[in-house]
Structures are given as structure tokens and as C-alpha cells.
């Protein structure tokens, strides 16, 4: 009986790790998907603007920020001419991941 219970607990905790808890790991997502352009901790690179202290992120609603992540901002929609590339649309990213990232961006922008 104890043994069966033990397996149940292991299975349950695995479900948690691979489920929503993983999807909401905004810092990890940011590091792998955003930091290559926006810099570690959103401190900017030569390719993309900083998220730390970012005015657009501070002033915009969660929906507006989510739209930039989802749809990107390239070509005529680009705002900053000093960066050679645009913001690529994150087409395969889930809504849960995007909203977790929006929360993380708000934290960075407030720094």
C-alpha cells in the first residue's frame, strides 16, 4: 500500500513539473527565447531594445504587450530604426506562456 502511494506521489509531482508550472516559468522562457536579442535580464543588446525600464512596456496594457509578442513588429510596423532587425512573431508560443512573459516584462520594466 505504501509503495503504491509512493508511485502515485511521484506521478503527481511529475505531472506538476511538466504541466502548467513549467509553462509559467517566465524567467526560463525569457532566457531562452528573448534574451538572445533583448539581453540577459532585459538589459538590451545591439540587436534589440532593453526591457529594463522600457517605456512601452510600462505604458501599455497586457493585451498590447501580448500582441507585440504574438504578432511581432517588423517592416513598416517597426518603431526603432537603430536596430537592423524587427521583433519576430512568436507563432508557436502558447497564450499561457505569453501571459507569463508579459508579467515578467512588467517586472523588468519597473526595475
Give the interface with ligand HEC as residue ranges (CB under 6 A). 33-34, 36-38, 47-49, 54, 56-57, 65, 68-69, 73, 78-80, 83, 85-88, 90, 101, 105
CB of 50 to ligand HEC, least distance (A): 8
Closer by beta carbon to ligand HEC, 3 or else 81: 81
CB of 40 to ligand HEC, least distance (A): 13
Distance CA 85, CA 22 (A): 30
Distance CA 88, CA 105 (A): 17
User: C-alpha grid cell for residue 106?
Assistant: 512588467
Closer by beta carbon to ligand HEC, 23 or else 56: 56
Closer by beta carbon to ligand HEC, 28 or else 36: 36
Please choose, from the candidates 52, 32, 36, the residue with its C-alpha nearest in 3D space to the C-alpha of residue 104: 52
Closer by beta carbon to ligand HEC, 16 or else 22: 22
CB of 82 to ligand HEC, least distance (A): 8
User: C-alpha grid cell for residue 32?
Assistant: 531562452
Distance CA 105, CA 103 (A): 5
Distance CA 84, CA 77 (A): 13
Amino acid at each position: 500500500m505504501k509503495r503504491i502511494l509512493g508511485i502515485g506521489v511521484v506521478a503527481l509531482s511529475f505531472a506538476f513539473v511538466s504541466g502548467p508550472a513549467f509553462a509559467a516559468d517566465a524567467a526560463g522562457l525569457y532566457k531562452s527565447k528573448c534574451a538572445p536579442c533583448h539581453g540577459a535580464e532585459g538589459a538590451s543588446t545591439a540587436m534589440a531594445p532593453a526591457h529594463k525600464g522600457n517605456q512601452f512596456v510600462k505604458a501599455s496594457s497586457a493585451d498590447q504587450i501580448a500582441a507585440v509578442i504574438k504578432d511581432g513588429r517588423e517592416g513598416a510596423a517597426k518603431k526603432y530604426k537603430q536596430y537592423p532587425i524587427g521583433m519576430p512573431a512568436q507563432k508557436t508560443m502558447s497564450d499561457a506562456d505569453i501571459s507569463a512573459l508579459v508579467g515578467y516584462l512588467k517586472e523588468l520594466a519597473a526595475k
